[in-house]
A and B are shown apart, each in its own frame.
Chain A
Amino acid sequence: MAERDKFKIPVGPQHPSLKEPTSFSVALRGEEITGIDVRLGYNHRGIEKACEERTYIQDMYLIERICGICSHSHSTCFIQGVEEIAKIEVPKRALYIRTLVGELERIHSHLLWLGVAGHEIGFDTLLMYTWRDREIVMDVLALLTGNRVNYGINTIGGVRRDITREQMKEVTRAMDSLEERTKYYIKIASEETTIIKRLSGVGVLSKEDALRFCVVGPTARASGVDHDVRRDDPYAAYSEISFNVITDNHNDVYGRTVVRLKELMESYKIIRQLLEKLPEGPVSVKVPRKIPAGEVVSRYEAPRGEDLHYIKANGTDKPERVKVRAPTLANIQAVKHMLKNRLLADLPIVVAAIDPCFSCTDRLISVRGEDEETPGIMTWENLHSYSVEWYRKRGLDFSKLK
Chain B
Amino acid sequence: MGQEEKIREGFLAAFGYLQDKITIQRSRRIFVTVDIEKFAEVFDFAVKKLGFSVLCVITGLDEGDRLTFIYHLDDGSGVMLNLKTGVSKERPVIKTVTEYFPSAEVYERELVDLLGAKVEGLLPGYRYPLPDGWPSGEYPLRKDWIPENKNG
Using a CB–CB cutoff of 8 Å, the interface residues on chain A facing chain B are 37-41, 44, 46, 48-49, 53, 211-215, 227, 229, 231-233, 295-297, 299, 306, 308, 310, 312, 320-321, 323, 325, 329-330, 332-334, 362-364, 377-383
Contact = CB atoms under 8 A, between A and B. Distances in A.
A49 B141 contact: yes
Interface string B132-152: 000000001100010101111
Contacts of B150: 53
A4 B130 CA distance: 33
A215, A231, A330, A334 interface centre (most CB from chain B within 10 Å): A330
Contacts of A310: 57, 59, 70, 72
Q: Size band of the B side of the interface? A: 35 or more
B96 to A, nearest CB: 14
Contacts of B147: 46, 49
A341 B53 CA distance: 27
Contact of A380 (B28, B78, B101, B152): B152
Given A41-B129, A46-B140, A323-B57, 20 more contacts: A38-B126, A40-B128, A40-B129, A41-B127, A49-B140, A213-B103, A295-B31, A296-B29, A310-B59, A310-B72, A312-B61, A321-B61, A325-B107, A329-B57, A333-B102, A333-B103, A377-B152, A378-B152, A380-B152, A383-B152
B80 A297 contact: yes
Contacts of A214: 54-56, 101, 103
A380 B131 CA distance: 24
Contacts of B149: 377
A323 B59 contact: yes
A363 B54 CA distance: 23
Contacts of B3: none
Given A310-B59, A380-B152, A41 B28 contact: no
A227 B129 contact: no
Contacts of B28: 233
